[in-house]
Amino acid sequence: MKKLVALLFASVVLGGCSQSGPSGTATTSVNTTASATPVASVPDREAALAHLRKAAAALEAKNYEEAAVYFKLPEGAPPDRIAEELAKLIEKKEISSAGVEKLAKDAKWGSLQEVFGDKGARWTERAKVPAAQCYALSKDPAEVALFWDGSKFLVFRLDDVGKL
């Protein structure tokens, strides 16, 4: 479970999830081309927390299409499989709104290198993101790694935030 999101979103091994469509039929589509609303012009702790709050709210509402824009997803990942894996994040307590609020109170914040050292460098290799543009929050046992794309954060590692 420790490597769920790093493996989940850094590889193309994603699952699919059914949602009820307007006619009551199951649908599995997720729009992976939408982008998260930029929350800051510079990467800072408050912007990261705002991003996590929005991601948690979308996941808790089972709005997987909206939730997908908050994560660094692999190119070409099938939308139905992304939705299934996103659904598992709440179920497996990888994230929750309550957990994000506990992170907000006293989690360690900084560059990914400052917070996680070499372990963080391995995560960036798997996610194919430049380490210099990555930030992290940590409060034992929770781990969050975020990539700053120049205008917004994208989560590429999320572990145990819902267990706080």
DSSP string, 77-133: --HHHHHHHHHHHHHTTS--HHHHHHHHHH-EEEEHHHHHHHHHHHHHHHHT--GGG
Mean pLDDT by 10 residues, the chain (164 residues): 39 30 38 48 92 98 97 90 95 98 98 97 96 98 97 97 98
pLDDT in tens, 4-49: 343 344 332 222 233 333 333 333 344 444 445 444 567 999 999 9
Ramachandran quadrant class, 23 (left: phi over 0; alpha: psi -120 to 50; beta: rest): alpha
- The predicted pLDDT at position 42 comes to 79
- Note if the pTM is more than 0.75: yes
